[in-house]
């Protein structure tokens, strides 16, 4: 999802605003309360070119000869092209750069990061680790399952009773080696109604569990235990009910299609997208709501007087959460 060009608060430093041209930040930042220009900032003047060195008289290049006996050079009075004298060595090789050698642009393997790359820190907070996000989701699934046992248990039991004659007859024929399907018990309209009721209740319970909690605090029970939080990309503030519903609808509404396995596949693709998304590691439901999951700092302490504040992170964040 692309973001229209314009002036936005810098996710890395909310006290400033910068111009987003649709692909990246340009120009110098302005204070957040300043009135920005109507369009993009004026281009910065190019630095003056360095003057070319004046060639010496006679247009003969002058090169400084290596010091006599320097490491890596033959000793003095050594004829060019001849073999080096006994005991001479070229000296130690230049140490390689960490992470090198680097592949050419366009041929980087998955997960490749250039030397010196720092992951983005939206609003000065680190992105939530994948393990913490998985733990939070598993806890939330367990909580919603417990709610379904209480609210949906009777309907599930009735649906199992409707299916039991079909399962019992199919198992009897499989044991006897009978592969025919004639005369098998058929499910009636009551079974279809029970299945629809179960899916509607399961979807409603998930909605009631997640949407208000994320909208108010950015955290469900699982996210509180795992120490992660959902925040908007453009500002560290409360998400609100509308954006929380827009985030949930992409991953929660496909529950109604579980009867044909399509809903589960859609939810799996939605959640697995964060494994490949860069730089903010957003799932599809995060992209639709322009949110990002960050790690809640443990025991945050304000900086003491006279101490510099911690860095707010690099400038790879985007106002729309997508490249």
What is 224-235 written as a DSSP string?
HHHTEEEEESS-
Digit-coded pLDDT (tens) for 57-86: 555 555 555 544 444 445 555 555 556 556
List all residues 6 or more positions away from 37 whose beta carbon is below 8 Å from its beta carbon. Answer: none
Q: What is the largest CA-CA distance in the chain?
A: 108
pLDDT of residue 185: 86
In this structure, which long-range contacts are made by residues 237-240, counting pairs with CB atoms below 8 Å and at least 24 apart in sequence?
239/214, 239/215, 239/289, 239/291, 240/215
Helix (H) or strand (E) holding 28: strand 25-31
The phi and psi torsions of 216 (rounded to 5 degrees) equal -85, -50
Digit-coded pLDDT (tens) for 112-160: 455 555 778 888 899 999 999 999 999 999 999 999 999 999 999 999 9
User: What is the percentage of the chain residues whose pLDDT exceeds 70?
Assistant: 70
Tokens, residue 318: 């985007």
- The rounded radius of gyration (Å) of the Cα atoms in the chain is 32
CA distance 230 to 288: 13
pTM exceeds 0.75 for this model: no
3-state DSSP call for residue 9? strand
Q: How confident is the model at residue 266 (pLDDT cuts 50, 70, 90)?
A: very high
Distances in whole angstroms, Cα of residue 307 to Cα of each of 7, 12, 121, 191:
31, 20, 21, 68
Q: How far apart are the first and last CA of the chain?
A: 8
């Amino acid at each position: 999802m692309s973001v229209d060009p314009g002036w936005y608060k810098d996710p890395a430093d909310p006290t400033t605003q910068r111009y987003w041209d649709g692909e990246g930040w340009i120009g110098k930042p302005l204070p957040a309360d300043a009135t920005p220009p109507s369009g993009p900032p004026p281009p910065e003047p190019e630095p003056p070119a360095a003057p070319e060195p004046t060639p010496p008289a006679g247009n003969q290049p002058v090169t400084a000869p290596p010091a006599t006996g320097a490491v890596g050079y033959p000793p003095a009075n050594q004829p060019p092209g001849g073999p080096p004298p006994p005991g001479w060595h070229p000296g130690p090789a230049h140490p390689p750069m960490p992470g090198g050698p680097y592949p050419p642009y366009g041929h980087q393997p998955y997960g490749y990061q250039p030397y010196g790359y720092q992951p983005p820190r939206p609003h000065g907070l680190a992105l939530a680790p994948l393990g913490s996000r998985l733990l939070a989701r598993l806890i939330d699934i367990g909580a919603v399952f417990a709610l379904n046992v209480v609210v949906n248990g009777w309907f599930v039991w009735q649906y199992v009773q409707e299916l039991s004659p079909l399962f019992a007859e199919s198992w009897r024929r499989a044991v006897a080696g009978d592969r025919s399907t004639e005369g098998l018990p058929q499910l009636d309209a009551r079974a279809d109604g029970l299945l629809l009721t179960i899916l509607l209740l399961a979807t409603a319970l998930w909605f009631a569990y997640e949407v208000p909690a994320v909208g108010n605090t950015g955290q469900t029970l699982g996210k509180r235990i795992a120490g992660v939080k959902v925040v908007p990309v453009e500002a560290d503030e409360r998400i609100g009910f509308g954006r929380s519903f827009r985030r949930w609808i992409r991953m929660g509404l496909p529950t109604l299609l579980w009867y044909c396995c399509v809903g589960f596949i859609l939810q799996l693709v939605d959640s697995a997208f964060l494994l490949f998304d860069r730089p903010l590691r957003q799932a599809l439901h995060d992209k639709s709501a322009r949110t990002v999951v960050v790690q809640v700092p443990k025991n945050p302490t304000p900086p003491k007087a006279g101490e510099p504040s911690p860095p707010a992170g690099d400038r790879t964040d985007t106002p729309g959460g997508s490249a």
